[in-house]
């Protein structure tokens, strides 16, 4: 049985889909949600499934040996899954979990990635540049935003007169369908 920690900063819809996917699994379970926003909806979602939540607004906490020990010893985390987590993962975690931290990005990397490129900001940029297609990218995490090796991408054609909201809804639907499945494949 593999232990998964989800790092999230916002509403937590992807986190909830992952928690549900592994709720009765014999392969893996979500043992912890880590959040940097004490007002994030993901906290309530995790609590609804009785998943422990660790909250810290302090970036230095995530770089500490105490935090690392919590993940590695107390929760025996095998895989860290970013699901809308907006902070850069500190080097100490990247080194402690090589090829064991993954992220979901709402665009086809390497385009529209990097610091500050998340959520509607990505969709607005895609539409502003009149791209013909977009999609999602699942990738390993390294020391830089959205630059780790790509694990999986899926694209779709952007409809004429597409809106930011419409694009966001299509991306979310794709994320919810694919991210938990790719995670399951990685842990198998």
Residue 67 near residue 61, CB atoms below 8 Å: yes
Residue 26 near residue 101, CB atoms below 8 Å: no
Distance CA 68, CA 92 (A): 8
Point out the residues that are catalytic. Answer: 105
Is residue 182 packed enough to be buried (19+ CB in 10 Å), middle (13-18) or exposed (0-12)?
A: middle
Distance of CA 130 to the CA centre of its chain: 26
Residue 178, Cβ neighbours under 10 Å: how many? Answer: 18
Q: Which two tokens stand for residue 79?
A: 């895989």
For residue 54, what is the enclosing H or E element? Answer: strand 53-55
């Amino acid at each position: 049985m593999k232990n998964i920690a989800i790092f999230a900063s916002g509403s937590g819809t992807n986190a909830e889909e992952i928690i549900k996917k592994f709720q009765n699994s014999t392969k893996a379970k979500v043992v912890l949600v880590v959040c940097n926003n004490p007002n994030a909806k993901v906290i309530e979602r995790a609590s609804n499934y009785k998943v422990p939540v660790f909250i810290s607004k302090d970036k230095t906490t995530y770089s500490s040996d105490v935090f690392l020990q919590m993940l590695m010893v107390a929760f025996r985390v095998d895989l860290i899954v970013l699901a809308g987590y907006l902070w850069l993962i500190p080097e100490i975690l990247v080194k402690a979990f090589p090829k064991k931290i993954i992220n979901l990005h709402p665009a086809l990397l390497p385009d529209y990635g990097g610091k500050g490129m998340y959520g509607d900001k990505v969709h607005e940029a895609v539409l502003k540049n009149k791209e013909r297609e977009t999609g999602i990218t699942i990738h390993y995490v390294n020391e830089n935003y959205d630059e780790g090796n790509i694990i999986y991408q899926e694209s779709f054609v952007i409809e004429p007169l597409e809106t930011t909201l419409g694009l966001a809804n299509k991306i979310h639907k794709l994320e919810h369908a694919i991210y938990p499945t790719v995670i399951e494949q990685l842990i198998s």
